[in-house]
Amino acid sequence: MAEAIRIERDGDIAVIVIDNPPINAGSAEVRRGLLAAIETIGGDASIRGAVLIGAGKTFIAGSDLREFDRPLQEPQLPAVIAAIETCGKPVVAALHGAALGGGFELALGCDGRIALAGTVVGLPEVTLGIIPGAGGTQRLPRIVGIPAAIRMIASGERVPAAKALALDMVDAVVDGDLRPAAVAFARRLGHGKTRLRDCGVPVADDGEIAAASRDALKAGRNRPAVRAAVEAVGTAARLPIDEGLVRERAAFQDLRLSRDARALRHLFFAERESARHPDLAGAMRRTIERIGVIGAGTMGTGIAIAALDGGFQVVLVEADDAALERGARRIADHYASRVATGRLGEADAAGRRFRLTAGTDWAMLADVDLVIEAVFEDLAVKQEVFRRLDAVARPGAVLATNTSYLDVDAIAAATMRPQDVIGLHFFSPANAMRLVEVVRAAASAADALATGLAVSKRLGKLPILTGNAFGFIGNRIYAAYRRQCEFMIEEGAYPEQVDAVLESFGFAMGPFAVADLSGLDIAWRMRQARAATRDPQARYVTIPDRLCEVGRLGRKTGAGYYRYADGGKGRQPDPVVRDLIDRARAETGISPRSMDDDEIRRRALLAITNEAALLLAEGIALRAADVDLVLVNGYGFPRWEGGPVFLARESGQLALERDLDWLAGLSGPGFTRADPTPLLGHTPGRPVPSA
């Protein structure tokens, strides 16, 4: 096995190469090698200076997170950086790809930093529930000042090379060959040392520091890592650097083993694992250059924007000119807004608009490689679309439906090529939301699925492979969650109490506020379509239907579970809704009872957990942790809680079994009590229906 660190010579400059694929993670082996290399260089009189550079595609893209759940091995990163700072010879960090977390802290400990154009640098530790622990909170403020360092570190901002140069986070950016430029830079430094620890912290206005801190805490939901980051950066202005470094390291060590950090590491590793699909490993992806999108509504235009941003040629097709014009205008307005806010250059925006072709002639889809249907959520409508596609699309094109709930097998049956049909369930707004459920229908070919996964990644999405069942993973679980919340308002709670409890837990919005936002008629139509197959003995709450029957469809009508003013933004509890709920309870024969916040939170979360276990037992979700990725990235489940599977594993099987029995007793007929062992990594058992 090759060593992770090697020393090469370029005349009187030593080049220390970090070679720990795939991302040169800062492992214990890397740290040991770096420390030994610095000691070697310091003792070699023929060496004038050194360059640190990564092999492959990146510098050090972060620490090896596998080490963080156990005592860290020596030497730890602060010792390596201290050795660089006390070395009598200048050390230059040559950055390319990504220099993040410990990688950028290592660079900050060097005497100079030179970056290849396109490099990204930053200290994103707070996104993993920790703070920089090797001097990042003390050295970065000495370059950019306290307010800017608070904003960067507390948000985990990744800074492109051009911006980093403007902020003096790097000393130079090169477009050509990085290594010779870094060697020349090191040679120019001679024998001098330019340590950031010796620099003062730029003076900043107390009000500006307070504003940056306040904004960071608000944006970061006041999580422990954000609070610790703000405090640690603040010490850089108040304390000698050695004392600041000690305090920073202590905070880092405390946070490293915290519940937030463990939950966020769980999601990090879950995301890496979600990309592995052994059954698709041999499948050749189909070549995709042109993407067709059918439907120029909000979802269709969002998908089109995502495809344009991914570098694809896009053909947008609508049924009539008026709808097409509205969709084209929506896309144009999006790019105009991006340019106006400085998030996209005019040339880039023009290039993306140029790659869009829009029209009402289906013949335009004849040469596309992938078609994504984004029309009305009605099975008959979608089947008609796929019948027409069968006659138009070229052989071998992937045909994808963006359905949220419907049976992909039934949609595929409308074609003569079901092997080419998959689901690509985007979340709204499709250009912004990261999650895509890639749905495997019964006949979906492996190469079609592999293509769907690859295209989703190119769009910057997180694709999760799911089986074909009502609602797939996300909407199936969300339906169970919402249903349990409806049980609770039938029993004695009111919508505003349920929403407040779940928003306090960390959801961006409670379930009833979400229903108002999306429109109550959407779920109403779905319930009507499924009414004939519903178990007549199952518990059914009529309150949502009654709201729709009196025209309270949510924000778009100014009233749903809440009433809305100010253009539909400000929600207010409505006595009319309370009266409607009270009458529904009376007609059902339910005597309302007081319900505390703990019961509301537990029941809502257990409903999610129970449905997740059922999905795993049925094989709809392939991995337990995939459920967490779907809920966190598509449904606002708080990241720092790790997801329902993480919570279940934290609870343990005995407590979970007891809690699910309690939930089944409260939920009544029609509730299927799951065996939770699939969530815990055990062999799935049989679902147990409740009485």
Burial class (CB in 10 A: 0-12, 13-18, 19+), 612: buried
Residue extents of the structural domains in the chain: 5-257, 288-468, 475-689
Catalytic residue among 3, 39, 67, 105: 105
- Whether the link from the prior residue into 75 is cis, omega within 30° of 0, is yes
Please indicate whether residue 496 is annotated as part of the active site: no
Whether residue 685 has pLDDT greater than 50: no
**pLDDT value, residue 240:** 94
* Strands 13-18 vs 91-95: parallel, antiparallel or unpaired: unpaired
- Distance from C-alpha of 259 to C-alpha of 641, rounded to nearest angstrom: 8
Q: pLDDT exceeding 70 applies to what percent of the chain?
A: 98
Stated as kind and residue range, the H or E segment containing 252 is helix 241-256
Is 105 catalytic? The answer is yes
Using the predicted structure, report yes or no on whether residue 684 has a pLDDT greater than 50. Answer: no
State pTM to two decimals.
Answer: 0.92
Q: What is the mean pLDDT of the segment spanning 265-285?
A: 93
| pLDDT of residue 687 exceeding 60 | no
Q: What is the DSSP letter of 395?
A: T
- Alpha-carbon distance 424 to 683, whole Å? 29
What does the pLDDT look like over 412-435, one tens digit per residue? Answer: 999 999 999 999 999 989 999 999
Mean pLDDT of 583-594: 94
Q: Which residue has the tokens 């040339």?
A: 347
> What topology does CATH give the domain 475-689?
N-(1-d-carboxylethyl)-l-norvaline Dehydrogenase; domain 2 (1.10.1040)
288-468 CATH: 3.40.50.720
**Is residue 689 over pLDDT 60?**
no
User: Would you state the pLDDT for residue 2?
Assistant: 62
Q: What pLDDT, in 10s, does the model give residues 35-91?
A: 999 999 999 999 999 999 999 999 999 888 888 888 889 999 999 999 999 999 999
Span 433-460, mean pLDDT?
97
Q: CA dihedral in degrees (601, 617, 404, 293; nearest 10)?
A: 130
How confident is residue 527, by pLDDT bands cut at 50, 70 and 90?
Answer: confident
pLDDT at 402 over 70: yes
Question: What average pLDDT does range 310-314 have in this prediction?
Answer: 97
pLDDT of 278 > 70? The answer is yes
With a cut of 50, say whether residue 682 has pLDDT above it. no
**Residues 603-633: pLDDT tens digits?**
999 999 999 999 999 999 999 999 999 999 9
Using DSSP bridges, classify how beta strands 370-373 and 435-440 pair: parallel, antiparallel or unpaired: unpaired
* Residue indicated by tokens 């505003």: 496
Q: Which one of 39, 67, 85, 125 is the catalytic residue? A: 125
Question: Distance (Å, rounded) from C-alpha 428 to C-alpha 426?
Answer: 7
How high is the pLDDT of residue 606? 98
254 contacts: CB under 8 Å, gap ≥ 6: none
Calculate the alpha carbon distances from 532 to 44, 526, 535, 536 in Å: 83, 11, 9, 9
What is the residue-averaged pLDDT of the chain?
94
Distance CA 649, CA 629 (A): 15
Cis peptide before 592 (omega within 30 of 0): no
Exposure on the CB side of residue 503, measured as CA atoms within 13 A: 13
CATH of 5-257, one of 3.40.190.10, 3.40.120.10, 3.90.226.10, 3.90.1200.10: 3.90.226.10
- 551 in the Ramachandran plot: left (φ > 0), alpha (ψ -120 to 50) or beta? left
